[in-house]
Amino acid sequence: MQLVLATRNKDKIREIKHLLEDLPITILIFSDFLDFPEIDETGETLEENAILKAKGIATFTGFAALADDSGLEVDALGGAPGVYSSRFAGPGCTYDDNNRKLLQDLQGIPEDRRAAHFRTVIAIAWNAGEIETVEGRVDGIIKTQKIGQSGFGYDPVFYYPPAKKTFAEMSLAEKNSLSHRGKALMKARDLLITHFNLMKDSGKQDTSI
């Protein structure tokens, strides 16, 4: 049982490995392969991009592959920045540039119309043709200014009402326990358990008939 992670992002690799560490699955990463390909994110939705990456890496390696794509979707902006979250303020922009543009675009909009959510789609390509997807989502509100120092991306402007703080005011463990990515990863874990016929609690292969 082998699974390739279709990403070069070391933080994502660490988080996914941690969540799957009790399962008897060998996790392979980009550095285990020669010429691991860069898959262009040319899709128009998070789903399309996650599938493109998982399928591309499964085809290249011949192993099952897992890929994710995430974005911030703001109701008052018709779901933008969405799939363009990392390049919202233009090519080569920084997280700060994106947050500045987001706050500008929402200028004058009152708090009750600043609803937004983060969404992660994870695709697992069992092979080049057989693909399943799962989704994780967390709802919040876009603040009128940045608050907090932790995290990355839109974390300082994303306020999570149940915790009464922004994602940038949370520890990594707290954020992972309720985030879009954390939720999607738990669902992906369930897909792997079912597909590879693993027992949930022991981490052993289920040999029952």
Pattern 87-116, ligand IMP, x by CB under 6 A:
-----------x------------------
Are the C-beta atoms of residues 143 and 136 closer than 8 Å to each other? no
Of 140, 155, 170, 184, which lies in the binding site for ligand IMP, with binding defined by CB under 6 A?
Answer: 155
Does 85 sit near ligand IMP (CB under 6 A)?
yes
Q: At what angle do helices 180-195 and 10-20 cross, to 10 degrees?
A: 50
* Residues in binding contact with ligand IMP, number by CB under 6 A: 16
Pattern 37-76, ligand IMP, x by CB under 6 A:
--------------------------------xxxx----
Does 154 sit near ligand IMP (CB under 6 A)?
yes
HSE (side-chain half, CA atoms, 13 Å) at 100:
7
Are the C-beta atoms of residues 157 and 96 closer than 8 Å to each other? no
Per annotation, catalytic residue among 32, 35, 69, 155: 69
Q: Mark out the alpha helices in 106-202 (DSSP H runs).
A: 172-178, 180-195
- What does the block give as tokens for 30? 């980009």
CB closest to ligand IMP, residue no: 153
Least separation in angstroms between CB 169 and ligand IMP: 13
Are the C-beta atoms of residues 118 and 141 closer than 8 Å to each other? no
Kindly compute the dihedral angle of the four CA atoms of residues 184, 187, 188, 190, in this order, to the nearest 10 degrees. 170
Burial class (CB in 10 A: 0-12, 13-18, 19+), 34: exposed
Q: Which is nearer to ligand IMP, 63 or 155 (CB)?
A: 155
**CA separation for the pair 59, 57 (Å, rounded):** 5
Least separation in angstroms between CB 209 and ligand IMP: 41
Does 150 sit near ligand IMP (CB under 6 A)?
no
Decide if 105 is catalytic: no
Binding segment toward ligand IMP, per CB under 6 A, in 16-24, 56-64, 145-153, 190-198: 145-153
List residues near ligand IMP by CB under 6 A.
69-72, 85-86, 98, 118, 151-155, 167, 179, 181
Q: Which residues are catalytic?
A: 69
